[in-house]
Amino acid sequence: MSKMETIRSAWKAVLFGVFALAAIPGQARAADLAVLRNGFTIRHDRRQIIGENTRLFTAADESSFVDVPTAEIEGFEKDLTLPPRLPEPVPASSHTPLDLNQVVNSASATYHLDPDLVNSVIHAESGFNSRAVSRKGAQGLMQLMPGTAGLLGVTNPLDPKANVTGGTRYLRQLLERYNFDLVKALAAYNAGPLRVEQYRGIPPYRETRAYVAKIVRDYNRKKIAQEKAEAAAAKTNRARKAAVASGSKAQLNNVDQQQ
């Protein structure tokens, strides 16, 4: 089975659980690593078999856990390293808009999404700060949780290209999952697919509702501005053609001055 097929087979069962990985405390303590068939590992304090899944508890108080299909786990080993410290956020001015535009355009073309939509998600997630790290542990421009980043093959979520490529791919997967219902896909990006399916739409969470509204509003604003610009350009072209057809140099000069 290929790496991509393994990720897809485990996706539905694992997807919501990975959002809990942010709760791993920074202090050292005994822990194990679950080694997955796709090559990734999940650090946890203890585990419990529940049906066909293995629940990996990622926090001492059992408030955070990941449910992984047992068949996708190759084995377990002791984690002899200390949990990595999350990097401190740095000002958003550390990257150039031109480079980011190239990254967004490339990822959007690869996954057939509108770059304006991807930019609206980045704006809502991190404010275009490639080094942003949330209190829950989400990292980078599109705020990927460690577990989600792992499933997407993103080894360094703070690398702008890797982060945007992974986040755009994830957004495309969510859109396909919900038959390209943008509202549901955005809600799932924020709160997790299982919550969207539980409530058959946007979950009744203030944060998620505000998040979806912010992105939709920002995206619509961009589209409206583009339509106005295109309409103005079309009007100018028509006026120019009319001036050329009539042979009126004065009328042509007037059109040029209005641009």
Read off the pLDDT of residues 94-131 as tens digits, 9 standing for 90 and up.
Answer: 444 448 999 999 999 999 999 999 999 999 999 999 99
Mean pLDDT of 184-208: 94
Give percent of the chain above pLDDT 70: 71
The tens digit of pLDDT for each residue in 60-103 reads 666 667 777 888 888 888 766 544 444 444 444 444 444 899 99
Calpha distance 108→110 (Å, rounded): 5
Question: 43 vs 154, which has greater pLDDT?
Answer: 154
The pTM for the full model equals: 0.58
125 included as an active-site residue: yes
- Helix-then-strand count for the chain, H and E: 9, 6
Integer Cα distance of 171 and 158 in angstroms = 18
- Percent of the residues in the chain that have a pLDDT greater than 90, as a whole number: 46
- The predicted pLDDT at position 85 comes to 45
Q: What are phi and psi of 141, to 5 degrees?
A: -60, -45
Position 141, amino acid: L
Q: pLDDT per residue over 203-258, tens digit each?
A: 999 999 999 999 999 999 999 998 998 888 888 888 777 766 766 555 556 656 66
- Catalytic residue (choose from 62, 88, 125, 197): 125
Burial of residue 108, with CB atoms counted within 10 A of its CB: 0-12 exposed, 13-18 middle, 19 or more buried: buried
- Identify the structural domains of the chain with CATH numbers, from first to last: 3-78 (2.30.30), 86-259 (1.10.530.10)
